[in-house]
């Protein structure tokens, strides 16, 4: 008789896709629900988050600025550290309270009030130890993304679990295990959060740069930031970047917390088996929707049938009426139902009513979609990617578990009875580990060899980058190096035996020094005579020239240039001593001008 | 006993955070030249331009 029941097949047929869709909470859906939860709880609970997070930010940034300007003693630094640590404790406590309040308001899970001061202090110690350890682990593994997101999820769950002291004892490992259940979703959510953080960051950056300019151009407000130098100083200050990152973090973090409240409720629900009950409880609603759909369809078809009957009546007359009565007779014969069927229907109705009431409980609220629209292609794609990541993660875990030598089991009682002795090494384990160690050794050796080879290449490339000489035949290159660089080059060339080039470098150093002092301007088309004329003209125009009347300086320059011309363009032979003397003469000359 | 251990764990973690913050602040104090380098900003001044 139960096989002939019409109701169960329909929901059973719909159960499979529903279960597949709700097997894991979609990260996009979680984020959407997190936004909705943040919005709905903002007025009452958001102040807890900001009151907890703001002191840390508003203490840290001024300290950062002041410490960069003033040299402080160690005792002052310790006091600052204590203040910031206190602000951190306040933040951890306030954020955990915020998450618990939001959970209570959204899902009706009452907060646990810990009896006694010792229980509260222990809960606080637990919270701090878990949060700090997990935060450090997140920072240490952030570069790997996957491990970072996993530990980040665990860190968020720790805010909810560490302060509870219930019969079901929460643990540090429990938070990690719970994050493990949502590994794929957590990773996708972590990756999805980056564009959001970047968007808020870029908005803040644009505002900081554009707003002073707008105030200056519209209202004529002059500030340091409306000048080019002010903007440059702002961009070079680390406090600006720090404030920008802190602002972006503060803007989005409460939403992230609300998202993790939803995820935590989802995972707890799955862990407690409520997920299955939630699915079961959703069946009456699905059935009700289907019944409404069938009713509306049946009403439409009945209206069409009635219209057809009226038309037939008009056309065919009384004979059709008789045949219609005859046709209505058989259903009338089957109307009486057995008593057992009516009892069964009553039981089914009663069960549906009970399930419907059960589904109204607050714990199932995350099941009830506030946005009942069907999943989009993006949702489906995300679900697929999340499932794939979960499968890969589980495969990796199984692989690592297989790799773990049985002799190193922490709980040897888990071994299969009769197969192997617990705590005993096996030869295949030993072979496997030896192979693994050999592979890792070879890989490490290859990496080290590559690094060493690269370092040698770099070391070789540095001198090659310095060695090439400039084109000394062109006077204009004098402006490409400083006076000191030219004289250093002259010294090097003289030691290498390139005496003519050394003299040329010293001459270019003289020109560069005079150009740096603005006694002449170096140009490719000028001769030494023109340089001398320009120098003499400027030298005689200086204010103290009339009183001093020192004409020996231009004469000295004339002698230097002539000496160079004789060597470079003539056939005078040079000695190292002559080059050293020429170089020193030019340096002394530059010291007098 | 368990509660004492939890409190000690919390205090240890907190001490580690405090030491980390101290190290960060001390690094900041001891390396002012990295944060007070306005040379680049001054380079944008035209020759002869003076803000005073």
* Residue ranges of domains in chain A: 31-109+117-272, 283-327+342-364, 426-468, 475-592
Most confident of A254-263, A281-290, A331-340, A346-355: A254-263
CB contact under 8 A, A118 and B26: no
Confidence of residue A12 (pLDDT cuts 50, 70, 90): very low
DSSP string, A377-404: HHHHHHHHHHHHHHHHHHHHHHHHHHHS
Residues 278-297 of A with CB under 8 A from B: none
List chain B residues with CB under 8 Å of A89.
14
Which of the four pLDDT bands, split at 50, 70 and 90, describes residue A328?
very low
Q: How far apart, in whole angstroms, are the C-alpha atoms of residue A501 and residue A174? A: 76
Asked if A228's CB is within 8 angstroms of B29's CB, the reply is: no
- Report whether pLDDT(A335) > 80: no
* Interchain pair B35, A122: CB under 8 A: no
Interface test with B, best of A122, A225, A518 (most B CBs within 10 A): A122
Q: What per-residue confidence (pLDDT) applies to B44?
A: 47
Question: CA nearest B44 in A: which residue?
Answer: A229
pLDDT higher than threshold 50 for residue A55: yes
Sign of CA dihedral A366, A371, A372, A373: negative
Q: Which residue in A77, A92, A137 has the most chain B C-beta atoms within 10 A of its own C-beta, making it the best mutation to test that interface? A: A77
pLDDT at A306: 60
Distance from CA of B10 to the nearest CA of A (A): 4
Distance from CA of A234 to the nearest CA of B (A): 10
* Top-confidence residue, A48 or A407: A48
Render pLDDT for A434-443 as a digit per residue (tens, 0 to 9). Answer: 788 889 989 9
Backbone angles phi, psi at A92, to 5 degrees: -60, -45
pLDDT at A407 over 60: no
> Are residues A71 and B17, on separate chains, in Cβ contact within 8 Å?
no
**Residue B9 to chain A, least CA–CA distance (Å):** 6
Whether B18 sits inside 8 A of A81 (CB atoms) is: yes
| pLDDT per residue as tens digits for the range A500-519 | 888 888 888 898 888 888 88
Residue A529 φ then ψ, to 5°: -60, -40
Chain B touched by A77 (CB under 8 Å)? yes
pLDDT number for residue A374: 66
Distance CA A231, CA A574 (A): 55
> Best of A69, A70, A79, A81 to disrupt the B interface by mutation (most B CBs within 10 Å)?
A81
Q: A439 burial class (0-12, 13-18, 19+ CB within 10 angstroms)? A: exposed
Per-residue model confidence (pLDDT) at position A418: 46
- What's the pLDDT score for residue A51? 92
- Would you state the pLDDT for residue A404? 66
**CATH number listed for the domain at residues A475-592:** 1.20.120
For residue A179, pLDDT over 50 is answered with yes
Angle at A249 between CA A243 and CA A254, to 5 degrees: 140
A residues 556..575 contacting B (CB < 8 A): none
Cβ–Cβ under 8 Å, residues A309 and A324: yes
CB contact set of A423 (below 8 Å; sequence gap of 6+): A406, A407, A409, A412
B47 — contact with chain A (CB < 8 Å)? no
Total length of chain A: 593
Mean pLDDT score, A413-440: 62
Contact yes or no for A229 and B45 at CB 8 A: yes
Which burial class, exposed, middle or buried, applies to A359 when counting CB atoms under 10 A from its CB (0-12, 13-18, 19+)? buried
Percent of chain A past pLDDT 70, that is, above it, reads: 73
Q: Do A81 and B37 touch (CB under 8 A)?
A: no
A24-42: per-residue pLDDT in tens?
Answer: 788 888 888 898 889 888 8
What pLDDT sits at residue A341?
A: 78
Is A50 or A116 the better-scoring residue by pLDDT? A50
Q: Token pair for residue A545?
A: 């020239």
CB A171 within 8 A of CB A126: no
pLDDT at A489: 87
Give chain A's mean pLDDT.
77
Nearest CA in chain B to A80: B22
Q: How do residues B8-52 score in pLDDT, each as one tens digit? A: 999 999 999 999 999 999 998 887 655 445 444 444 444 444 444
How far apart are the C-alpha atoms of A163 and A176, rounded to whole Å?
Answer: 16
pLDDT beyond 50 at A247 = yes
Identify the band that residue A367 occupies on the pLDDT scale cut at 50, 70 and 90.
low
pTM > 0.90: yes or no:
no
Query: How far apart, in whole angstroms, are the C-alpha atoms of residue A156 and residue A136?
Result: 13
The pLDDT of residue B11: 94
Q: Chain B residues with CB inside 8 Å of A228's CB?
A: 44
Q: Does B39 touch chain A (CB under 8 A)?
A: no
Q: How far is Cα A127 from Cα A87, in angstroms, rounded to an integer?
A: 15
Q: What is the pLDDT of residue A568?
A: 83
């Amino acid at each position: 008789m139960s096989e002939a029941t019409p109701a169960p097949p329909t929901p059973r047929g719909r159960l499979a896709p529903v279960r597949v869709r709700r097997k894991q909470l979609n990260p996009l859906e979680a984020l959407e629900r997190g936004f909705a939860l943040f919005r709905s709880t903002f007025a009452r609970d958001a102040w807890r988050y900001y009151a907890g997070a703001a002191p840390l930010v508003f203490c840290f940034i001024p300290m950062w600025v002041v410490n960069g300007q003033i040299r402080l003693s160690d005792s002052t630094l310790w006091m600052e550290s204590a203040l910031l640590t206190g602000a951190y404790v306040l933040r951890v406590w306030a954020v955990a309270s915020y998450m618990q309040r939001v959970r209570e308001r959204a899902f009706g899970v009452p907060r646990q009030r810990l009896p006694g001061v010792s229980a509260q202090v222990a809960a606080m110690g637990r919270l701090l130890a878990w949060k700090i350890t997990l935060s450090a682990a997140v920072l240490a593994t952030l570069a790997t993304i996957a491990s970072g997101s996993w530990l980040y999820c665990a860190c968020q769950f720790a805010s909810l679990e560490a302060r509870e002291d219930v019969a079901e004892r929460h643990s540090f490992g429990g938070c990690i295990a719970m994050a493990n259940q949502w590994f794929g979703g957590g990773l996708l959510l972590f990756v999805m959060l980056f564009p959001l953080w970047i968007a808020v960051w870029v908005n803040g950056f644009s505002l900081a740069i554009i707003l002073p300019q707008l105030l200056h151009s519209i209202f004529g407000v002059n500030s340091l930031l409306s000048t080019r130098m002010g903007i440059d100083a702002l961009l070079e200050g680390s406090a600006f970047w720090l404030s920008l990152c802190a602002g972006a973090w503060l803007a989005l973090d409460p939403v992230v917390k609300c998202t993790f409240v939803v995820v935590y409720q989802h995972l707890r629900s799955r862990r407690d088996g409520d997920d299955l009950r939630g699915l079961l409880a959703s069946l009456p609603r699905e059935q009700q929707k289907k019944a409404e759909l069938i009713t509306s369809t049946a009403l439409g078809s009945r209206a069409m049938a009635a219209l057809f009957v009226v038309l037939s009546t008009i056309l065919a007359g009384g004979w059709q009426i008789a045949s219609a009565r005859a046709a209505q007779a058989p259903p009338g014969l089957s109307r009486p139902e057995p008593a057992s069927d009516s009892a069964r229907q009553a039981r089914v109705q009663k069960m549906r009513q009970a399930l419907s009431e059960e589904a109204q409980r607050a714990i199932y609220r995350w099941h009830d979609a506030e946005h009942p629209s069907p999943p989009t292609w993006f949702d489906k794609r995300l679900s697929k990617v999340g499932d794939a990541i979960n499968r890969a993660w589980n495969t990796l875990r199984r692989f690592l578990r297989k790799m773990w030598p049985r002799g190193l089991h922490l709980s040897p009682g888990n071994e299969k009875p009769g197969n192997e002795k617990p705590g005993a090494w096996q030869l295949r384990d030993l072979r496997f580990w030896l192979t693994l160690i050999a592979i890792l050794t070879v890989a490490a050796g290859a990496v080290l060899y590559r690094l060493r080879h690269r370092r040698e290449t770099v070391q070789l490339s540095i001198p090659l980058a310095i060695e090439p000489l400039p084109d000394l035949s062109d006077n204009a290159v004098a402006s490409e190096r400083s006076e000191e660089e030219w004289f250093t080059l002259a010294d090097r060339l003289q030691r290498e035996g390139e005496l003519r080039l050394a003299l040329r470098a010293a001459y270019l150093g003289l020109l560069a020094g005079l150009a740096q002092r603005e006694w002449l301007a170096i140009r490719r088309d000028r001769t030494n005579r023109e340089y001398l004329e320009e120098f003499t003209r400027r030298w005689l125009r200086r204010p103290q020239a009339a009183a001093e009347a020192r004409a020996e300086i231009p004469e000295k320059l004339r002698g230097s240039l002539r000496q160079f011309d004789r060597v470079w363009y003539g056939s005078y032979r040079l000695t190292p001593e002559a080059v050293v003397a020429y170089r020193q003469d030019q340096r002394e000359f530059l010291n007098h001008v | 006993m368990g509660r004492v251990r939890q409190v000690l764990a919390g205090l240890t973690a907190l001490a580690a955070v405090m030491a980390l913050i101290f190290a960060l602040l001390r690094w900041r104090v001891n390396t002012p030249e990295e944060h007070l380098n306005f040379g680049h900003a001054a380079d944008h001044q035209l020759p002869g331009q003076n803000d005073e």
